[in-house]
Amino acid sequence: MKYEVIIRPTIFLAIFTAVALFELRSPCRKLTTSKKSRWINNLAIVIGNPLLLRLVFPILAVDMAVIAHERSWGLLNILELPYWSEIVTGIILLDLVIYLQHVMFHSVPLFWRLHMMHHADLDFDLTTGLRFHPIEIMLSMGIKISAICVFGPPVLSVLVFEVILNGMAMFNHGNIKILMQLDRFLRYFVVTPDMHRVHHSVIIRETNSNFGFNLSWWDRLFGTYKAQPEKGHVGMTIGLSQFRDAKKLTLPWLLALPFIGDPGRQPINRH
């Protein structure tokens, strides 16, 4: 889709700005480390990852959806469903893939080493939701492209999903305070900041819960849902127990983390 290069960055900047302002106006927690230092490192990763994807992959998710449609690849290109139904089904299937991928990155020690960069953040805000190791980003894109070949979601479905995924990653990592009643209602449908913050707890059994990014259904369905952190949202500790020195969490150190860092006991299959 020729307008993707306009649509996605525009919506990204709009959501980023909205969540950033919400964090300033109604923060849930006080930050424990320098926001300036964290944002410089995290945003450098945000800028670098899309450039790397363009260099490594000849086609990305939306491009693959176009090819799958033209060649009638995938389940939804075989079934004769109403177009709107294909769009909704495609989004739901891709979201399930992302949930399962997230569980896999917590289960396989090698993949966990890559995912540690995301969890090593000592604070939790919208930039945490965009901070992933470049190798993890490339693996994730490969999984997403494969899923598009298998399921054959419409091009619009993939574009909408990509926009939602980026937007929800910023929203549900936001350091924002939402009324308890509203949070409880939203959780029936989507992953809220309070729900996902549990996943970033230093307590391992909480780290290995609430894997959803968009839809909250998967955690409830597969038994990985945890409603609240043991020590409360203000009292909980964010990050990983083996990485507590903020001075070490620089961009070069973060990029080297999978190769030199202690994986700890977080991988699911170590319990």
pLDDT by residue for the chain (271 residues), tens digit each? 667 778 889 999 999 999 999 999 999 999 999 999 999 999 999 999 999 998 999 889 999 999 999 999 999 999 989 999 999 999 999 999 999 999 999 999 999 999 999 999 999 999 999 999 999 999 999 999 999 999 999 999 999 999 999 999 999 999 999 999 999 999 999 999 999 999 999 999 999 999 999 999 999 999 999 999 999 999 999 999 999 998 888 999 999 999 999 998 877 755 5
Q: Say what the pLDDT of residue 2 is.
A: 63
pLDDT of 224 reads: 96
pLDDT for 31 equals 95
Contact 140, 162 (CB under 8 A): no
- Give the whole-angstrom CA distance, residue 173 versus residue 78: 37
pLDDT value at residue 1: 60
Cα gap 244→246, rounded to integer Å: 6
Q: What is the DSSP letter of 231?
A: T
Instruction: Check residue 80 and give its pLDDT.
Output: 83
Strand partners, 238: 201
Closest Cα partner for 127 from 239, 196, 39, 48?
39
DSSP lists the bridge partners of residue 111 as none
Tell me how far apart the alpha carbons of residues 123 and 72 are, in angstroms, rounded to a whole number.
45
What pLDDT does 3 receive? 72
Give me the residue label for tokens 């495609």: 90
Q: What is the pTM of this model?
A: 0.94
Q: Which residues pair with 215 in a beta bridge?
A: 190
Residue 31 main-chain phi, psi, to 5 deg: -70, 145
